[in-house]
Amino acid sequence: MELLSGLLGRMSLDYLPTEPATIGAAVGMPLGALGVAAALTYFKKWGWLWNNWLTSLDAKKIGVMYIVVALIMLFRGLFDALMLRLQTAVAVNGASGPFDTDTFQQVFTAHGTIMIFFVAMGLMFGLINVVMPLMIGARDMAFPWLNSVSFWLFVAGMILNNVALIFGGFSPGGWLGYPPLTGLEYNPGPGVDYWIWSLQIAGLGSLFSGINFIVTILKKRAQGMTLMKMPIFPWSVLVTSVLIALAFPILTATLALLSLDRLMGMHFFTSDMGGNPMMYINLIWAWGHPEVYILVLPAFGIFSEVVPTFARKALFGYKTMVAALVAIMFFSFIVWQHHFFTMGAGANVNAFFGIMTMIIAIPTGVKIFNWLFTMYKGKIWFTAPMVWFLAFVVTFTLGGVTGVMMAVPALDFQVHNSLFLVAHFHNTIIGGVVFGFLAGITYWFPKVFGFRLYDAMGRWSAYLWQIGFILAFMPLYILGLMGAVRRLDHYSDPTWQPFFIVSGIGVLVILAGTTMLVAQVAYSIWKRKELVDTNGDPWDGRTIEWSVPSPAPHFNFASTLKVTQRDDWWYKKQAGKHLTPPPPSAYKDVWLPKNSASGLLVGAGAGMFGFAAIWHMWWLLVVALVFVVAVVIRRTYDTNSEFMIPAKELMQEDLLVYKRRNA
Partner 1 sequence: MRANHKLAVGIGIVALLAGLFWWLIAGAQIDVLAPKGVIAQQQKTLFIFTIALSAIVVVPVFILLAMFAYKYRDTNPKHKGYDPEWKENSKLEAVWWGIPIVIIGILAGVTWYTSHSLDPYREIESKHASIPVQVVALQWKWLFLYPEQGVATLNYVVMPKDVPVTFSLTADAPMSAFWIPALGSQIYNMNGMTSKLNLMATELGEYRGYSTNINGRGYADMSFTANVVGRDDFYSWAEGVTTSSSIAGINENIFNALKTPSVEKSAITYKLTDPELYNHIVGSYMPHMMHDEPEDATMDAMHMEGHH
Tell me the β-bridge partners of 645: 590
Using CA atoms, how far residue 244 sits from 177, 205, 212, 283, 608, in Å, is 20, 11, 11, 15, 25
**Measured from the CB of residue 402, what is the shortest distance to partner 1 in angstroms?**
9
Residue 395 within binding range of partner 1, rule CB under 8 A = no
Buried b vs exposed e over 510-523: b needs ≥16 C-beta within 10 Å? bbbbbebbeebbeb
Amino acid at 469: F
Alpha helices in 312-341 (DSSP H): 318-331
Report yes or no: 568 and 543 within 8 Å, Cβ to Cβ: yes
Residue 604: phi, psi to the nearest 5?
A: -60, -45
**Measured from the CB of residue 481, what is the shortest distance to partner 1 in angstroms?**
4
User: Which of residues 394, 508, 532, 586 is near partner 1 by CB under 8 A?
Assistant: 394
Which one, of 81, 170, 74, lies nearest residue 116 by Cα? 74
Cβ neighbors of 240 (< 8 A, separation 6 or more) are 124, 210, 213, 293, 294, 297, 298
How many Cα atoms occupy the beta-carbon half-sphere of 358 within 13 Å? 14
Residue 410 within binding range of partner 1, rule CB under 8 A = yes
Q: Which CB, 411 or 597, lies closer to partner 1?
A: 411
Q: Which CB, 14 or 272, lies closer to partner 1?
A: 272
**Measured from the CB of residue 617, what is the shortest distance to partner 1 in angstroms?**
20
Residue 379 within binding range of partner 1, rule CB under 8 A = yes
Q: Which CB, 136 or 398, lies closer to partner 1?
A: 398
Residue 607 within binding range of partner 1, rule CB under 8 A = no
Which one, of 448, 641, 642, 655, lies nearest residue 559 by Cα? 655
User: Which of residues 376, 526, 618, 619 is near partner 1 by CB under 8 A?
Assistant: 376
Site residues (CB under 8 A) for partner 1, limited to 412-471:
413-418, 467, 470-471
Residue 408 within binding range of partner 1, rule CB under 8 A = yes
Residue 639 within binding range of partner 1, rule CB under 8 A = no
Site residues (CB under 8 A) for partner 1, limited to 99-128:
101-102, 105
Instruction: Considering only the stretches 53-61, 234-242, 411-419, 620-628, report the one whose residues sit in contact with partner 1 under the rule CB under 8 A.
Output: 411-419
Give the binding-site size for partner 1 (rule: CB under 8 A).
104
Cβ neighbors of 120 (< 8 A, separation 6 or more) are 70, 295, 429, 433, 434, 437
Residue 509 within binding range of partner 1, rule CB under 8 A = no
User: Which of residues 475, 541, 549, 593 is near partner 1 by CB under 8 A?
Assistant: 475
Residue 378 within binding range of partner 1, rule CB under 8 A = yes
**Measured from the CB of residue 234, what is the shortest distance to partner 1 in angstroms?**
19
- Tally of CB atoms within 10 A around 361: 15
Instruction: Considering only the stretches 19-27, 208-216, 497-505, 624-632, report the one whose residues sit in contact with partner 1 under the rule CB under 8 A.
Output: 497-505
**Measured from the CB of residue 322, what is the shortest distance to partner 1 in angstroms?**
13
Q: Which CB, 117 or 353, lies closer to partner 1?
A: 353
Which one, of 401, 417, 532, 422, lies nearest residue 475 by Cα? 422
Cα-trace Rg, the chain: 25
User: Which of residues 282, 320, 535, 560 is near partner 1 by CB under 8 A?
Assistant: 320
The mark string for 278-317 relative to partner 1 (x by CB under 8 A, - otherwise) is x--------------------------------xxxxxxx
Residue 326 within binding range of partner 1, rule CB under 8 A = no
Q: Which CB, 209 or 370, lies closer to partner 1?
A: 370
User: Which of residues 1, 14, 274, 576 is near partner 1 by CB under 8 A?
Assistant: 274
Cβ neighbors of 499 (< 8 A, separation 6 or more) are 475, 476, 478, 479, 482, 484
User: Which of residues 77, 112, 277, 458 is near partner 1 by CB under 8 A?
Assistant: 277
Amino acid at 578: H
Site residues (CB under 8 A) for partner 1, limited to 123-182:
172-174, 178-181
Residue 565: phi, psi to the nearest 5?
A: -155, 175
Which one, of 480, 467, 477, 398, lies nearest residue 432 by Cα? 398
Q: Which CB, 493 or 642, lies closer to partner 1?
A: 493
